């Protein structure tokens, strides 16, 4: 008997803006991108995705405009195209969507660069409580200079420095979520008290980048630490992901190109003492599905006719940092010595997986990016698309997919009508949530009662377990060793409270 097939994780990849990876598609008559700021729109989408048993809606976010193309600091191509501008913070809509659903999760992007860990920990604890544990944090360090300027900096903090900051940022949030309230601080409170004051403590974190006394102002939520997503693909990003992430989002043009990143992340996780199989890796794809291959290709061509090419080049400028307006319209970037190596490499990957005979100039690049962004695209009937998703899973060893949209909600409607039944028929997706009404972590990992970080996760060392006077990590005089509410415990008298933690 053949072994059972690995069942896919399915996320809907979305953004609360007129356009996400589909600049200009708000002009398509059936598109509801203009309703990005209407809560009933998002509730409706969440309900239909839950009925189809999607694991989660994964909300991307940015903190600045795409202003590199025809720049510097020029939003003229971005604004007419609705290229991720204007954009709302997705976190605030989650409680409403959660109240109208039972099991689907909500991944929310938030940056470690421009918000204090104390404030972010409070926001996620609040929303995790209101959603009954169905929230994930997609950890980013931010990549737009426009965001840096609007947060008071002349330019971005250097790339690897941002990840250095992010490592400490995560340590602070772990201490707040896991080590500031004892597990039984509320459930075992003295008679007449809401919580046991001895079970609530300051964390007194003093580090290179952050000084946070605490305590955490929120009582623990159902997951305590929200489920942790991360999408870094650089060497620093992959190391960060292998250290902290429970699920990782990767983009790639082919499964063969994605596989080395998957192997690298799993190897690094094992070297850090984590179970590499516990880390779920999802690939970003655009799937346009129809009754037949021909119908799907015709739908793609029709949708592409509404795309905004200038908006696509604006997105490329933000993602890459390169302004393609400086080059002539007919120059082929595969052979252009004056083009940055990163651009040439990217274009060559696209060319290798596209029809031959194309001149990869600005027009071709824009048309390639008009829907689905820098990710792979699968176009065909349900069988064609399911076959290719199976190939992706087998070749790349990913655990599932972040499925973006060409038009919202029609792309998701088509997936639900055509692709989802075919995947379910093949046994590639579940019939129902692993834990109906459960937390996002329970459903992502498929284990009832698995609400907390795994014991091998670095955040687990900050657990403050029932019956402990202080968390175990604080007993050796480590950073954050103060007792409840800043009161020094007797066993701390000989330790240097607030000293620097050892580097990992």
Strands (DSSP E) found in 324-387? 376-381
pLDDT by residue for the chain (504 residues), tens only, comes to 667 788 999 999 999 999 999 999 999 999 999 999 999 999 999 999 999 999 999 999 999 999 999 999 999 999 999 999 999 999 999 999 999 999 999 999 999 999 999 999 999 999 999 999 999 999 999 999 999 999 999 999 999 999 999 999 999 999 999 999 999 999 999 999 999 999 999 999 999 999 999 999 999 999 999 999 998 778 899 999 999 999 999 998 899 999 999 999 999 999 999 999 999 999 999 999 999 999 999 999 999 999 999 999 999 999 999 999 999 999 999 989 999 998 998 898 888 888 888 899 999 999 999 999 988 999 999 999 999 999 999 999 999 999 999 999 999 999 999 999 999 999 999 999 999 999 999 999 999 999 999 999 999 999 999 999 999 999 876 555 555 555 444 433 333 333 333 333
List residues bridging with 288 in a β-sheet: 379
Q: Beta-carbon neighbour count of residue 216 at 10 Å? A: 24
Q: What's the rounded Cα separation, in Å, for the pair 118 and 116?
A: 5
Secondary structure tally for the chain: helices H, strands E: 16, 11
Q: What's the rounded Cα separation, in Å, for the pair 318 and 312?
A: 10
Asked if 41 contacts 137 with a C-beta cutoff of 8 angstroms, the reply is: no
Torsion-angle region of residue 483: left (phi > 0), alpha (psi -120 to 50) or beta? beta
Q: What's the rounded Cα separation, in Å, for the pair 331 and 360?
A: 8
The 10 Å CB-count burial string (b at 16+, else e) for 455-488 is eebbbebbbbeeeebbbebbeebbbbbbbbeeee
Question: For tokens 């429970």, what's the residue?
Answer: 246
Closest by CA to 372, choosing from 263, 283, 471, is 283
The predicted model scores a pTM of 0.93
Distance, CA of 414 to chain centre: 24
Asked if 56 contacts 106 with a C-beta cutoff of 8 angstroms, the reply is: yes
Q: What's the rounded Cα separation, in Å, for the pair 495 and 478?
A: 8
List residues bridging with 136 in a β-sheet: 107, 227
Question: For tokens 């409607």, what's the residue?
Answer: 413
The packing angle between helices 235-244 and 159-179, to 10°, is 10
Helix (H) or strand (E) holding 105: strand 105-111
Q: What's the rounded Cα separation, in Å, for the pair 283 and 257?
A: 11
Q: Is 331 exposed, middle or buried (0-12, 13-18, 19+ CB in 10 A)?
A: middle
Question: For tokens 């250097």, what's the residue?
Answer: 158
């Amino acid at each position: 008997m053949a072994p059972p097939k690995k069942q896919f994780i399915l996320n809907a990849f979305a953004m609360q803006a007129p356009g996400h990876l589909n600049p200009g598609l708000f002009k398509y008559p059936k598109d509801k991108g203009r309703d990005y700021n209407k809560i009933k729109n998002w509730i409706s989408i969440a309900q239909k995705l839950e009925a189809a048993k999607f694991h989660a809606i994964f909300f991307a976010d940015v903190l600045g405009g795409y202003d590199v193309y025809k720049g510097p600091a020029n939003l003229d191509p971005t604004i007419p195209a609705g290229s991720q501008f204007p954009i709302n913070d997705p976190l605030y809509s989650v409680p409403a969507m959660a109240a109208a659903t039972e099991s689907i999760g909500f991944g929310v992007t938030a940056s470690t660069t421009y918000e204090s860990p104390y404030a972010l920990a409070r926001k996620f604890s609040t929303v995790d409580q209101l959603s009954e544990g169905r929230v994930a944090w997609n950890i980013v360090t931010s990549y737009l200079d426009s965001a840096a300027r609007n947060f008071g900096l002349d330019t971005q903090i250097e790339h690897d420095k941002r990840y250095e900051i992010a490592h400490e940022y995560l340590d602070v949030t772990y201490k707040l979520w896991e080590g500031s309230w004892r597990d039984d601080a509320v459930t075992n409170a003295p008679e007449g008290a809401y919580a046991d004051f001895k079970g609530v403590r300051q964390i007194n974190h003093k580090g290179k980048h952050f000084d946070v006394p605490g305590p955490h102002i929120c009582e623990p939520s159902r997951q305590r630490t929200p489920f942790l997503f991360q999408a870094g693909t650089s060497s620093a990003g992959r190391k960060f992901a292998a250290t902290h992430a429970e699920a990782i989002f990767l983009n790639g043009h082919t499964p063969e190109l994605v596989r080395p990143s998957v192997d690298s992340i799993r190897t690094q996780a094992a070297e850090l003492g984590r179970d590499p199989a516990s880390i779920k890796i999802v690939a970003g794809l655009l799937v346009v599905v129809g009754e037949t291959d021909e119908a799907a290709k015709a739908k793609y061509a029709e949708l592409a006719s509404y795309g905004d090419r200038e908006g696509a080049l604006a997105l490329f400028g933000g993602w890459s940092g390169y302004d393609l307006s400086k080059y002539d319209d007919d120059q082929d970037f595969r052979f252009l010595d004056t083009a940055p190596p990163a651009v040439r490499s990217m274009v060559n990957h696209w060319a290798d997986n596209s029809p031959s005979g194309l001149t990869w100039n600005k027009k071709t690049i824009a048309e390639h990016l008009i829907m689905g962004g820098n990710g792979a695209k699968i176009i065909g009937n349900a069988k064609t698309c399911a076959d290719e998703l199976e190939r992706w899973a087998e070749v790349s060893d990913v655990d599932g997919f972040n499925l973006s949209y060409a038009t919202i909600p029609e792309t998701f409607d088509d997936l639900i009508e055509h692709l989802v039944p075919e995947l379910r028929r093949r046994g590639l997706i579940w019939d129902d949530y692993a834990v109906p009404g459960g937390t996002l972590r329970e459903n992502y990992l498929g284990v009832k009662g698995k609400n907390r970080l795994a014991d091998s996760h670095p955040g687990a060392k900050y657990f403050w377990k029932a019956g402990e006077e202080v968390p175990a990590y604080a007993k050796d005089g480590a950073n954050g060793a103060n007792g409840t509410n800043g009161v020094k415990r007797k066993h701390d008298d000989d330790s240097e409270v607030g000293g620097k933690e050892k580097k990992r």
